[in-house]
Amino acid sequence: MTIPANAPTGPNSASAGAVHQNKVYQILDVARRQVLEDGIGLTQAQLEEVLRLPDEALPAALELAHQVRLRHCGEDVEVEGIISIKTGGCPEDCHFCSQSGLFDSPVRGVWLDIPELVKAAKETAATGATEFCIVAAVRGPDIKLMNQIKFAIDRINEEVDINIACSLGMLTQRQVDQLKDWGVHRYNHNLETARSYFPEVVTTHTYEERLETCAMVKDAGMELCCGALIGMGESLEQRAELAAQLAALEPHEVPLNFLNPRPGTPLENQGIMDGKDALRAIAAFRLAMPRTVLRYAGGRELTLGDLGTRDGLLGGINAVIVGNYLTTLGRPATADLNLLVDLNMPIKELQKTL
């Protein structure tokens, strides 16, 4: 029999292995007391420990994250659909995004008309979703786009019983106030990555500019949806930094995206994130934010597959985007809805979100 070079040997090997395992699981014992029992999220340093857990500790980490979710968020799962009113032609240089007009990507500028938006909202509501998010690939909305958003919101509200969210880039205070007055339930503006890594993936605006919009949205009384995109080449330390920075922002919801490298973008050759690393990140983000809606978003199909998607739902995730994303294909809505049924996870009812 061949013994790995790093394996303990000799009469004390069993005790040495036990000491190592106790050290590995110590962070989970801390999290059980601090997060599950007391409802206090892990610190950045503690999150680094979770992200470094070996594969054999991953099931225990996911189970703990699931228990945290059940205790502090309940068993309901929130379902959302998204649609892009304006696709492509964005002036920003987010290195992961095929909608940038600065890159030679296959995505071209397209506008949806209002009847198409209403149709998409109806289809989303038919899946049982409680949230419909209107997205535009812009630095921030101009007067024309704001007028279209107002008209779209009015039409959707006339015909569909669903909450409306928006993701329109960076806002002015006046635009924040307008969206609030028009009945926008939630606003999405992602941090994407850690402050220390942000200049590596975006150069046309700053991290602080993103934070300013997030602060205005919260101050106006709208729910803030502020997400992460992981697997862009950031370090584990920066992944923990991002989770801690999001926790400090206290958003209502955090969508977790996993990089799906897009042709023509600066990150087109970035490798796909390892599925187990993605699951470690899911557990870590839940242990950082015990009461936050943690939503499956883009890239999970490629990074996790069907089995990993199930593991994440049993490891801290309590919301999903169903159907396709902005420029990439997702799982069929029925696949996610059937999985929720199989796991006995009830879909949150609309009236409970109002």
The annotation places the binding site for [2Fe-2S] cluster at 133, 225, 295
Strands 223-225 and 110-111 turn out to be unpaired
C-beta separation of 162 from 193 below 8 A: no
DSSP 87-150: ES-BSS--TT-TTBTTS--S---EE--HHHHHHHHHHHHHTT-SEEEEEE-SSS--HHHHHHHH
The annotation places the binding site for [4Fe-4S] cluster at 90, 94, 97
**How far, in Å, CA of 251 to CA of 165, rounded?**
14
Q: Which two tokens stand for residue 20?
A: 């190592």
> Which residues contact residue 118 at a Cβ distance below 8 angstroms, ignoring those fewer than 6 apart?
152, 155, 156, 159, 160
The count of other CB atoms within 10 Å of the CB of residue 305 is: 13
**How far, in Å, CA of 319 to CA of 12, rounded?**
47
Please, what is the angle between helix 305-313 and helix 333-342, to 10°? 50
The single residue listed with the structure tokens 């205790």 is: 71
> Which residues contact residue 227 at a Cβ distance below 8 angstroms, ignoring those fewer than 6 apart?
188, 190, 191, 192, 253, 254, 255, 256, 257, 295, 297
Amino acid at 20: H
The annotation places the binding site at 90, 94, 97, 133, 225, 295
The count of other CB atoms within 10 Å of the CB of residue 323 is: 22
**How far, in Å, CA of 318 to CA of 6, rounded?**
39
> Which residues contact residue 17 at a Cβ distance below 8 angstroms, ignoring those fewer than 6 apart?
8
